[in-house]
Amino acid sequence: MSNRLWTEEAVRLHEMFVAGKVSCEEIVQDHLEHLAAVDPGIGAFLHVAADQALAQAKEADRWSTEERQMRPLSGVPIAVKDNIVTQRMPTTAASRMLEKFYAPYNATVVEKLYAAGGILMGKTNLDEFAMGSSTEHSAFHPTRNPWQRDRVPGGSSGGSAAAVAAGMVPIALGSDTGGSIRQPAAYCGIVGMKPTYGRVSRYGLIAFASSLDQIGPMARTVRDAALLYHVIEGPDARDATSLPLTASPPTRSGPWRIGVPREYFQEGIDPRVGDVIDRYLRRLSDAGHEIRDLSLPHTRYAVATYYLIAPAEASSNLARYDGVRYGFRCDARDLVSLYERTRDEGFGPEVKRRILLGTHALSSGYYDAYYLTAQKVRTLIRQDFDAAFNAVDFVVAPTTPDVAFRFGERDDDPLKMYLGDIYTVTANLAGLPAISLPAGWVDGLPVGVQWMARPLFDNALLDAAQAAEALMPPFQFPQEVRE
C-alpha cells in the first residue's frame, strides 16, 4: 500500500495508529520502502535496522488502544545518530575505530525511545566522532543534501537532518556540541533543537566535549520536535550533569521582546542570508513582537574559545581508544606500537587534528595561555547572554552565516569550516537552549533562523518556536523525493 504515510508528521502517525486507522507495520513498511528508494542517492543511514523495526511494529500492533495511547511515540519511526549507543545495532560514530563495535548497553535516550513505543529505524551518518560541519568527515561515506545533491547536508548530524528532510523518518535524534543539530537542520530546511545543557541525559552519547555535548530532536515541525524532546528530557542518575526537572517557568503567550544581536550580522555573513533574516524579523514585528537591537560583545571570540575547549575535552575523551578496550586494533609487536598504530589507522584526519590541538592547549606551559583563558572567555560569553536576557525574552539570529556549501569546498581549509560555526557555538558555551527553524531560501537552498532562550526555558522556547513557525509556509519535501 502506498498511503504516502512517510509524508506525515510524527504526531499524526501516532494519532492514526492510536485511532486504529493504520497499523504500525504499515507505517514502518511505508517508511522502509521510501527509505530504500531515496537513501541510495543521499546516504543518510549507516545502518538500517529493517528487521528489528518490523518486529517492533508487529509487537506494537498487538497493543490495546490504552497501551498505544500511554506511549507517546507508538506508531512513530525514528532515526538515531550513530554516536548514541544501541545494544542491538552497531554504533560506529562514523569512525574506523568503532567499525565493528556493539555497545553492551543502550543510551538513556534510546531506552526512553523504546519505552515510549518509538520504532528505531537505524543509525544515521555523521562526521567522525561528531567533529565537523559537513558530514564529509564520516569514515564511511558522505551524506548528500536532499535539496541539492552536490551540496553537504551540514554536520555533524547530517545523516539525521537529511533523513528527516527526505521523509525517511519524521523525527531523529542528533547531538550538538557546537551546532551539530542546528546547522544541519538549517542546511536541510528542518527544525533542530539543542536543549539546555543538562536537560537531556548524555549517558550513552559517545563523548566529544563533555561540557558542551547535548542530545536533541530534529523534525519537520516544531510540534514533532517538542514531542521527541519531551520523551528524552529529564534527570538521569547515570549522568551527573543532568538537571532535576524543575517546573518549567511560565510561558508568556507574547508579544515578546526579541533581541537581535548585531554581532551576528557582521563580517562573514552572506548578504543573501542576512536579507532572509531581515525579512523574517519583519514578519515577527508585523505579528506584533518587539524587535530590539542588542550587543553580545564577546561573540568575536566565540570560535576561538570553542576550538580550544572542544578539542581539549576531545583529546581527553578520545584517549580511551587505544586498541585494547574498544573496536579497532592493529597488530603490533609491543604495546606502544599497538597504541600508535591503532590510533594512526583508526582515526581520520579531522579527529587527529582535534587531538593534536587539544593536547597542545592542555599541555604544561600552554595550559594557562590557551585552555584557562578560553574558560574565562567562556564566562564572558555567558555573561553577555545573561545581560541580554535581562532585557529580552528571546535572542533571534541566523543559524549559519551561509547556505549549504559544495562538497570539497572547505575540505582543505579547516579554519574556513570552523568559522561557519560562529553563530551556533555560543549557545553551547553558555549552556542555553536554542532551536533552528526554517526562515526562507537562497537559490533553492534553505536558510535557518535560530531562537535562543535562557537556560531551562526549553518549554518557552518551543512554544515561541511553534508560534513563529505559523508565520511561515509549511514544510514541503524536495522535488526529487516526492516520487
Contact positions vs ligand GLN (CB under 6 A): 130-133, 156, 176-180, 208, 310, 421
Among residues 18 and 98, whose Cβ is nearest to ligand GLN? 98
- Identify whether 112 is a catalytic site residue: no
- Please give the Cα distance from 99 to 111 (Å, whole number): 23
CB 218, CB 172: distance < 8 Å: yes
Among residues 76 and 161, whose Cβ is nearest to ligand GLN? 161
Give the nearest distance from C-beta 361 to ligand GLN in angstroms: 14
Question: In Å, how far from its chain's centre is CA 471?
Answer: 24
CB 333, CB 341: distance < 8 Å: no
Give the nearest distance from C-beta 69 to ligand GLN in angstroms: 35
Among residues 56 and 138, whose Cβ is nearest to ligand GLN? 138
- Identify whether 376 is a catalytic site residue: no
Residue 197 zone, left/alpha/beta (φ > 0; ψ -120 to 50; rest): beta
Among residues 187 and 208, whose Cβ is nearest to ligand GLN? 208
DSSP state of 252: P
Question: In Å, how far from its chain's centre is CA 332?
Answer: 38
Among residues 28 and 403, whose Cβ is nearest to ligand GLN? 403
Catalytic pick among 74, 81, 201, 242: 81
**DSSP characters over 159-192:** HHHHHHHTTS-SEEEEEESSSTTHHHHHHHTSEE
Give the nearest distance from C-beta 436 to ligand GLN in angstroms: 12
Among residues 72 and 398, whose Cβ is nearest to ligand GLN? 398
Give the nearest distance from C-beta 176 to ligand GLN in angstroms: 5
Among residues 177 and 317, whose Cβ is nearest to ligand GLN? 177
H/E stretch holding 18: helix 10-18
- Identify whether 81 is a catalytic site residue: yes
Peptide bond into 40 cis (omega under 30): no
Catalytic pick among 175, 180, 315, 436: 180
Query: Closest residue (Cβ) to ligand GLN?
Result: 180
- The cell numbers describing 33, all together, are 520502502
Give the nearest distance from C-beta 159 to ligand GLN in angstroms: 13
CA distances, 391 to each of 148, 296, 427 (Å) = 40, 12, 18
- The cell numbers describing 110, all together, are 534510546
- Please give the Cα distance from 347 to 97 (Å, whole number): 6
Give the nearest distance from C-beta 123 to ligand GLN in angstroms: 16
- Please give the Cα distance from 140 to 66 (Å, whole number): 43
Helix/strand/coil for 429: helix
- Please give the Cα distance from 266 to 271 (Å, whole number): 10
Give the nearest distance from C-beta 243 to ligand GLN in angstroms: 20
- The cell numbers describing 58, all together, are 508487529
- The cell numbers describing 157, all together, are 548530524
Catalytic pick among 74, 134, 156, 315: 156
Active site residues: 81, 156, 180
